[in-house]
Amino acid sequence: MIRAATVNDVADIRAMIRELAAYEKAVEQARATEEQLREALFGERPAAYALIAEDEDTGETVGYALWFPRFSTWTGTRGMHLEDLYVRPTARGGGYGKALLASLAAICRRDGFERFEWWVLDWNEPAIGFYKSLGAELLEEWTVCRLSGTPLADLAAQAPGAAQP
């Protein structure tokens, strides 16, 4: 069963974020707190949204998808960025990942989003194969860029006048 996350799911979402980070060999980078997630997902101005996958027999939370809207200047339309897709190892192969992605695709269609995009680590062959089986196009000509920590602060310090933090 796939459903919209509720505030009562925040602890499970945080636990699964840490499980995903451990799988991706970056658990030390998964610093989000329950308070931060609660505000991001259910605050006055949500920054993101989440779906929950539950085992229909036990009611256990077995996976989640966390996404947020984006905008394309080329198409002039909104799209969806999938930040996380995670299914617990004991539930993999049960159709939950596909059900989460299909539910997100349905949200895209309902809301007029023309693009549904996400990143995958280049070493994650099982995920890559799964995404390709769904018809996902891998955009190999694009490279993800990121500023954080000191480089972000250094660039922000160069902002002109009113844009200074």
CATH number for the domain spanning 85: value is: 3.40.630.30
Sign of CA dihedral 69, 12, 95, 127: positive
Would you state the structure tokens that stand for residue 127, as one six-digit string? 């995920």
The pLDDT of residue 90: 95
Return the number of other C-beta atoms located less than 10 Å from residue 67's C-beta. 22
The stretches in the chain having pLDDT less than 70 are 162-165
pLDDT attached to residue 165: 57
Residue 106 DSSP SS3: helix
Tell me which residue of 139, 136, 131, 121 sits closest to 23, measured CA to CA. Answer: 121
Compute the mean pLDDT over every residue in the chain, rounded to the nearest whole number: 94
Nearby residues of 150 by Cβ (< 8 Å), 6 or more positions away: none
**Closest residue by Cα to residue 59 from 144, 1, 134:** 1
Residues in the chain: 165
Which residue from 115, 33, 22 is spatially nearest to 67, judged by alpha carbons?
Answer: 115
Taking only the tens place, the pLDDT of each residue in 43-76 is: 999 999 999 999 999 999 999 999 999 999 999 9
- Domain residues for the domain of 114 are 2-163
Percent of the chain with pLDDT strictly greater than 90: 84
pLDDT at 146: 87
SS3 82: strand
- The pTM of the full predicted model, rounded to 2 decimals, is 0.91
Q: Residues 96-110: pLDDT tens digits?
A: 999 999 999 999 999
Annotated catalytic residues are 131
Tell me how many domains the chain contains: 1
The pLDDT assigned to 163 comes to 65
- pLDDT for position 144: 87
